[in-house]
Amino acid sequence: MYKYSIIVLISFFITAGLSAQDDMFFERNYSIGGYGELHYNYVKPENGEAKKTLDFHRFVLFYGYNWTEKWSFKAEVELEHNYVADDHGELELEQAYVNYKHADWLNFQAGVILPSVGLINEYHEPPLFLSVERPEYHSKIIPTTWFGNGIAFTGVYKDFDYKLVVMEGLNGNKFSNSSGIRSGRQKGFKSNADDFLYNARVDYYGITGLKAGASITYNKAFHDVEKIPFTLLEVHASYYHNNVYAVCEYGNISYDNFEIGSSSGFYADLGYNVGSWLKLDSELIPFVRYSDINPAATTLTGGDSELANHSTKMMAGLAFKPIPEVVFKLDYSIQKFELNDQKTDLLNIGAGYMF
């Protein structure tokens, strides 16, 4: 299999070299972008004291450079929680890859890349989702932001968009009942490459405002005792048109050779831009969300181990976009864990931007 993969890559690059003459008159250029978000979080457990925090959660810069019409470079650097010192904050290179565009239906990437899983892992700028924090689904089920060393093929054909990824796998020693596969991300640091991770996604765009698709991800995560094969299947859909904002995502992870048998969860958003009713040039979007998340939905031991991390959350919120690239958000939610039946009140206020 590896022999045939190498032959395909060699053929691909020969074709790329022959096409270089098409770029003789191209003028090299670069682009800069980024995003950031400030959060105020209030968390009040039913039988506990309230915790209040104010955090500049993310500051991100994008950089891109085009050598020719076909060859380019793209990078993303992120600083989390304002500074890095004494185990506080994070500084990460979330993307850094060479991109070759053969045609609309075929592009190639190599470097630090993002697998295509769900709606937010690849496109996670604050104005693109309604809540202050990213949906909990994109932490407990899909470990957003998920990045690593690898290669990818992407393309668009008619009303379909696809991405195929081969990249570093996960560290099964860090899987857990409370966060599933999230802590197993290697993040491109001297990654163990015994078994690659394979990811494939297809989306449909044939209806105005609609994006609907699915992805599958497979890896034999390395482990000190025995490898942990897992398969992540997810489906997603979003509809942004005629002032309607609707999102739904569902995912399931099945494991072998592990205490957890499966992780599963979903969430759904429904919002409406009332700015048009008020004759505003801006968007004002009240919305509601329901989520049901369990990173240890089935376990070998069963009983309380399957209930302890099962939570449901009902949220109501408001997002205001004075311009499409700037957003101010407010949301309130009640979260309930099945095991203790206790409720937690959460209030979030945020501001975000992208450029």
Q: What's the CATH code of the domain at 145?
A: 2.40.160.10
Which domain range does residue 97 map to? Answer: 33-354
Q: Is residue 6 part of a domain?
A: no
- What is this structure's pTM? 0.91
Q: What are phi and psi of 2, to 5 degrees?
A: -65, -35
Q: Does the residue 17 lie in any domain?
A: no
Q: Could you tell me if residue 247 is inside a domain?
A: yes
Helix (H, G, I), strand (E, B) or coil at 127: helix
Domain count along the chain: 1
CA distances (Å), 4 to each of 11, 166, 315, in order? 11, 15, 50
pLDDT tens for each residue of the chain, 355 residues long = 544 455 445 554 445 554 545 556 778 999 999 999 999 999 999 989 999 999 999 999 999 999 999 999 999 999 999 999 988 899 999 999 999 999 999 999 999 999 999 999 999 999 999 999 999 999 999 999 999 999 999 999 999 999 999 999 999 999 999 999 999 999 999 999 999 999 999 999 999 999 999 999 999 999 999 999 999 999 999 999 999 999 999 999 999 999 999 999 999 999 999 998 999 999 999 999 999 999 999 999 999 999 999 999 999 999 999 999 999 999 999 999 999 888 999 999 999 999 9
- Contact 69/26 with Cβ under 8 angstroms? yes
Q: Where does residue 194 rank: exposed (0-12), middle (13-18), buried (19+ CB within 10 A)?
A: exposed
Question: Is residue 235 situated within a structural domain?
Answer: yes
Residue 137 in any domain: the answer is: yes
Q: Answer whether residue 4 is part of any domain.
A: no
Residues 6+ apart with CB under 8 A from 267: 135, 136, 137, 247, 248, 249, 289, 290, 291, 292, 293
Query: Does any domain span residue 96?
Result: yes
Q: Is residue 200 part of a domain?
A: yes
